[in-house]
Chain A
């Protein structure tokens, strides 16, 4: 199985479908997850799939329409792709002031 050997010897990031990224939690989501941050292994390709996966895994209750996504400190759309090594934050409704 030479082809398999090549796959394992030269992994292309994301090619296996599983990536690792960092998720930070704030406010309601921090309470629900019980963590400030974690390294997540995921097959999600975009922010929306990632949130759905985490919400199902951890019982996160905030609906997507109440959140905005930030990837690497930039606010992005829900269909923004996620990559290995990204820092992803789902921002609950903000209440400064």
Chain B
């Protein structure tokens, strides 16, 4: 399995968690982004994500590799969901394992920030009144900081 995946199925958080197991690990930091029922004061009914799969996997894998170079990580993994998501479903999952917690927290947060900034995935919100809008999003930087 790839270290970073794009899936149109429910993210199997138990299976991803199992892949963090490492005998030298003293801490695991996991971030699970879930679909909330509101955005900027508007009631959200559900989300639909699109993704450019080959570039999303490549970009996500590059982010994980950069994180492994910046922190002494034992394992670093990520997965982003695409397709139709209802309230409460996991949209993104990031997990890292390291010997100590400080680097696990720091790397997990950094990876998530980079995923939001660079991985080609787009979120469309459907509101309670039935109207839809693409989330504002971030313009991708061509040359991210190493």
The answer to whether A binds B is yes
Given known A-B contacts A97-B91, A97-B92, A97-B115, A92 and B52 have beta carbons under 8 A apart: no
At the interface, yes or no: B136 with Cβ under 8 Å from chain A? yes
Report the separation of the CA atoms of residues A73 and B53 in the bound assembly, to the nearest whole angstrom. 10
Residues of chain B in range 89-116 having any CB-CB distance to chain A below 8 Å: 91-92, 112, 115-116
- Whether B9 sits at the interface, judged by CB under 8 Å, is no
Report if B68 contacts A (CB, 8 A).
Answer: no
Instruction: Assess whether B115 is in contact with A68, with CB atoms less than 8 Å apart.
Output: no
| Pairwise interchain contact A94-B121, C-beta atoms closer than 8 A | yes
Contacts of A70 in B (CB 8 A): 52, 55, 120
0/1 interface trace, chain A 11-31, chain B, CB 8 Å (1 if under)? 000000000000010111010
Instruction: Kindly state whether residue B123 has any CB partner on chain A within 8 Å.
Output: yes
B residues in contact with A95, CB < 8 Å: 116, 121-123, 134-138
Q: Closest CB of chain B to A68's CB: distance in Å? A: 4
Number of chain A residues close to chain B: CB under 8 A: 23
Number of interface residues of B (CB under 8 A): 31
Q: Are B92 and A73 in contact (CB under 8 A)?
A: no
A66 lies within 8 A of chain B by Cβ = yes
**Interface of B, helix, strand, loop or mixed by DSSP:** mixed
Known A-B contacts A24-B52, A73-B54, A89-B55; the reply to A94 vs B142 at CB < 8 A is no
B33 within 8 A of A: yes
Contact B134 A96 (CB under 8 A): no
CA distance A2 to B94 in the complex (A): 64
Residues of A close to B117: CB separation below 8 A: 94
Give B25-66 interface residues, CB cut-off 8 Å to A.
33, 49-52, 54-55, 58
The 3 closest A-B pairs by CB, nearest first: A93-B137, A96-B121, A95-B137
Binding site for B on A (CB under 8 A): 24, 26-28, 30, 65-68, 70, 73-77, 89, 91-97
Residue contacts A-B, CB under 8 angstroms, 20 given:
A24-B52, A27-B124, A66-B139, A68-B142, A70-B52, A73-B55, A75-B140, A76-B142, A91-B52, A91-B120, A93-B140, A94-B117, A94-B120, A94-B121, A95-B121, A95-B138, A96-B92, A96-B115, A96-B123, A97-B112
